[in-house]
Each structure stands twice: as structure tokens, then as C-alpha cells.
Amino acid sequence: MKLDFSRDRVLAVVAHPDDAELLCAGTLARARQDGAAIGICVLCQGDKGQPNKPIRNLAAVRRKEMKAATAILGAELFLGEFADATLADGIPHRLKLVEILRQFRPTLVLAHAPEDYHADHQAASKLAEAASWSCASRGQKTKTAPQDAPPAVWFMDTINMSGFVPGFYIDISRYADVKERMLNCHKSQLARGTDGDFSPLNELMQLQFKARGMQSNVSAAEAFRQHHAFKRTQAW
């Protein structure tokens, strides 16, 4: 089976500034290589992930890090600008994401799995699911015109693979270095590697893409499952 993204517009909708690197940047890089348009929408500012030695203006620092990382990927960056640990599936959040979706006009949305660990990830999953349906509703008004059809939705692997049963794997053997270069832009997060409430991110990411690679007979992979719902499932 040959998966081809060349006709796609792929948007990752993630909770925090480094989530796309950990869970789907290899797939985005591969989609871009196929000729797809790619984007990352980061809903939260990353303003509360402080290392032991606090950083002033953390949200601004993390915005800069995100811009550097998405420039490596060649992706368009969209920001929800919500505060960390406040994300919820509410009307203002939905409308903001509907407008972002209409601006980018994805054919495929990569969303957090509903069972992922962090409350912001769980809320981001709900929001992505709801907004990626409403973005094609003519009755739902925002500044930009509705899309013709709702995009397909793939749920991404969870952080450290906990509780996630993959539906399929994307071979990212040729793009693992892109993930690593992107993650290295997130210096404020990497600085938390030895903090008691955190895990070294490089190691976590490498272990995950190698384990998913081992499960699918390649050197590196990212895992997903399709959202099996009316008008959301695609055939190859």
C-alpha cells in the first residue's frame, strides 16, 4: 500500500508548543515531501511549563521556539493563544479553532487521542473533533467562509504510547532527524530534563519513534488511528 499525501492539506492541532514534534512532525515532513501543504495549530501558549529556574516571559520565549521549529519543517503556524491548563471544549474555543481551520482549509486533521494523559490534550482532542466538523457548516458563522466538506481526522499516538492502540503506522525513517532538529528548538522545555516533574524529551521522543518503528518493521515510525465516524474516514 502506498500512502500519498500529495493532494492533501494536513493540519496538526496540538495542545502545547512541543507536542507536534513528539507525535507527528515526521508525518508532516513526509507529507510535505509528497507536495502537501502542512500546518501546525498550537492551542496553548506553553506559559506554565516552567523549569526549576523560572524563565521570564515564558509564553514569548516559547512562541519564538515554535516559530524556529516550524520554519525547519516548512509549516504554517497558527496560535490559539490560550493559557496552559485552561483548555476546555467550550464555544469560544471552538469558534476560534473553526476560524483557524477555515483559514488553512485542511483535508486531514491530526488530533490528540481522547485518551492522552494531559487535560489540555484531552480538551484539544475534543475541540479538534468538534471544530473540524463545524468548519464545514454553513450555519456556523466566522470571518472566513466554510469549507466544502469536513476534513478526515487521524488521532495521534499518546505521549509515551500509554493506552494507545495504533490503527496504522507512518514510516518516518527519512524524517526522524527533522523531528530531532525541531525538538532542539525548544530549549526552554529541554532545560526541564532533570526536573523532578518532567522527562528528558529527546530520549522520550527517540524511544517512541524507535518502538513504533520496531512494531512496524522500519527504523522509525509514528502511530495513528483513523477517526471512524460518519464522513471522517478515508480509503486508500
Q: Give me the residues that bind Zn ion (CB under 5 A), please.
A: 15-16, 19
Strand bridging mode 168-171 / 221-226: antiparallel
105, 36 in Cβ contact below 8 A? Answer: no
Nearer residue to Zn ion within complex by CB, 20 or 36? 20
136, 130 in Cβ contact below 8 A? Answer: no
DSSP structure class, residue 159: G
Q: How far is the CB of 165 from Zn ion (least distance, A)?
A: 20
Classify residue 203 by burial, with Cβ atoms within 10 Å: 0-12, 13-18, 19+. Answer: exposed
- Which residue is at the shortest CB distance from Zn ion? 16
Q: How far is the CB of 89 from Zn ion (least distance, A)?
A: 16
Nearer residue to Zn ion within complex by CB, 19 or 171? 19
Nearer residue to Zn ion within complex by CB, 16 or 192? 16
Nearer residue to Zn ion within complex by CB, 15 or 220? 15
State the Cα–Cα distance between residues 234 and 111, nearest whole angstrom. Answer: 15
Classify residue 139 by burial, with Cβ atoms within 10 Å: 0-12, 13-18, 19+. Answer: exposed
Q: How far is the CB of 148 from Zn ion (least distance, A)?
A: 31
Q: How far is the CB of 192 from Zn ion (least distance, A)?
A: 13
Q: How far is the CB of 122 from Zn ion (least distance, A)?
A: 11
Nearer residue to Zn ion within complex by CB, 19 or 129? 19
- Containing 12, the helix (H) or strand (E) segment is strand 9-14
Share of the chain residues as helix, strand and coil, in percent rounded to the nearest 5: 40, 15, 45
